[in-house]
Amino acid sequence: MLMTHNHPILSAVDLTKTYQVSTGTHGRRRLTALDRVSLQLGSGETVGIAGESGCGKSTLAKVLAGLLMADSGTVFYKGTPVAELNSVEARLFRRSTQMIFQDPFSSLNPRMRIGDSIREPLIIAGLPPEIQQRELERHMAAVGLPMDASNRFPDEFSGGQRQRIGIARALAASPSILIADEPVSSLDISIQAQIINILLEMKREFTLSMVIVSHNLLVLRHLCDRIIIMYLGTIVESGPAEKLFQSCRHPYTEALIAAIPGIHTAMSGGRELLQDDIPSPLDLPSGCRFHPRCRHAAHICRTTPPVLTEYPGHHSTACHRSEELYGVR
Ligand SMILES: Nc1ncnc2c1ncn2[C@@H]1O[C@H](COP(=O)(O)OP(=O)(O)OP(=O)(O)O)[C@@H](O)[C@H]1O
Ligand code: SF4
Ligand SMILES: [Mg+2]
């Protein structure tokens, strides 16, 4: 499944995003959701983003989709900073980058018939009515919705059907980049498989580049060429999906994999590796942010943040002890 993706269609360099939050005792404080995050999405590539709740996945997805401004850092569309795109290019970027949400209900107008919701991007694109109708039928068929559904309203559909509607609406904009934030996590297992298959089919049929956020590593293994693991606002490991499962290079990744029922990494020997709760992003640990929970933490881990280091095979990890624990390059 792994392909060579030479030209990034979307990339990000040093994205930092903070939120102002009120805390009962300390008044207002800044919470760091993303801390100098850089990544590349190759043309035709599917990249997964995983990590525990609160590690910054949705924030990253929204910044990449242009729905949220980073405090600093740059998002590039086909090599040009998004902020420097001219008005025509900026419109193209907005249209060609579509987002699918965990709950598509919130992004669908409850008073709009779903056929009109899916048709909306086609109207905005100025397509003639007969082509709008043809495209509507094509996209509804692609996600397995019957045509007579187009006259109904969102609240008449189940969660899985709404997700199909959300995908059809995103596809109607003829995107080249699809950013999906937990697209299946609110659905029943059997429905999840159907939506995953639709996403795989979309990728093939519409030659899409995709970013898929999920806390479910097995979903990402199935869908993605490459997986990025985040921890408290930083990337701790990134590598080809299968390689990450077979030979990860970071104790946090190993712990996440070991926590999947039925999968045990060679080192874990079936033990539960992820202990204690994730610390608050308002109170980030010194050095390696994972050190309070890491069974391999050494003195340097408490004092010095590890740098994301490249290993052969497009595999990077940020861990002082990676070579010692997982072998030299
Ligand atoms: N609008 C906001 N205002 C204040 N804090 C926010 C806001 N959005 C997110 N955060 C905080 O930023 C951090 C990252 O949030 P984010 O939603 O990006 O994480 P996530 O990895 O998507 O989590 P989840 O798996 O629960 O969806 C969290 O600590 C969250 O509480
Ligand atoms: S840098 Fe140290 S604390 Fe962090 S993951 Fe590696 S061994 Fe564990
Ligand atoms: Mg999220």
Cβ burial 99-124 (10 Å sphere, 16+ → b, else e): bbbbebbebbeeeebbbebbbbbbee
Q: Which atom of ligand 2 is nearest to the CA of 322?
A: 6
Q: What is the pLDDT of residue 53?
A: 93
Q: What is the pLDDT of residue 286?
A: 96
| CA–CA dist 188, 130 (Å, integer) | 37
Give me the sheet containing 72-77, strands edge to edge.
27-42, 8-23, 72-77, 80-81
Report the pLDDT averaged over residues 313-323: 95
Which residues approach ligand 2 with their CB closer than 6 A? 250-251, 288, 290-291, 294, 296-297, 301, 306, 319-321
Q: Which atom of ligand 1 is nearest to the CA of 59?
A: 18
**CA–centroid distance, residue 280 to ligand 1 (Å):** 11
pLDDT band at 185 (very low <50, low <70, confident <90, very high): confident
CATH of region 8-326: 3.40.50.300
**CA–centroid distance, residue 19 to ligand 2 (Å):** 27
Tokens coding 284: 């980030």
Torsion of CA 191, 116, 177, 252, to 10 degrees: -40
Provide φ and ψ at 226, rounded to 5°.
-140, 150
Query: What pLDDT digit, counting tens, does each position of 51-90 carry?
Result: 999 999 999 999 999 999 999 999 999 999 999 999 999 9
Query: Given phi > 0 = left and psi -120 to 50 = alpha, else beta, which region is 258?
Result: alpha
- Percent of the chain, pLDDT > 90? 68
Provide φ and ψ at 91, rounded to 5°.
-65, -40
Scan for tokens 């609160």, then name that residue.
54
Report the pLDDT averaged over residues 110-120: 93
| CA–CA dist 37, 316 (Å, integer) | 13
Provide φ and ψ at 238, rounded to 5°.
-150, 130
Query: What pLDDT digit, counting tens, does each position of 264-308 carry?
Result: 555 555 566 787 788 999 989 999 999 999 999 999 999 999 999
Q: What is the pLDDT of residue 50?
A: 97
Question: Does residue 128 surpass a pLDDT of 80?
Answer: yes
Query: What pLDDT digit, counting tens, does each position of 34-45 carry?
Result: 999 999 999 999
| CA–CA dist 180, 216 (Å, integer) | 13
Which residues approach ligand 1 with their CB closer than 6 A? 19, 21, 31, 33, 51, 53-59, 215, 281
Q: Which ligand is nearest the CA of 254, by number?
A: 2
Q: DSSP readout, 85-145?
A: --HHHHHHHHHHEEEE-S-GGGGS-TTS-HHHHHHHHHHHTT--HHHHHHHHHHHHHHTT-
Size (the chain), residues: 329
Question: Helix (H, G, I), strand (E, B), or coil: what is residue 179?
Answer: strand
**CA–centroid distance, residue 284 to ligand 2 (Å):** 15
Tokens coding 282: 């308002």
Q: Which atom of ligand 2 is nearest to the CA of 236?
A: 5
| In the chain, where the domains are located | 8-326
Q: Do β-strands 209-213 and 177-181 pair in parallel, antiparallel, or remain unpaired?
A: parallel
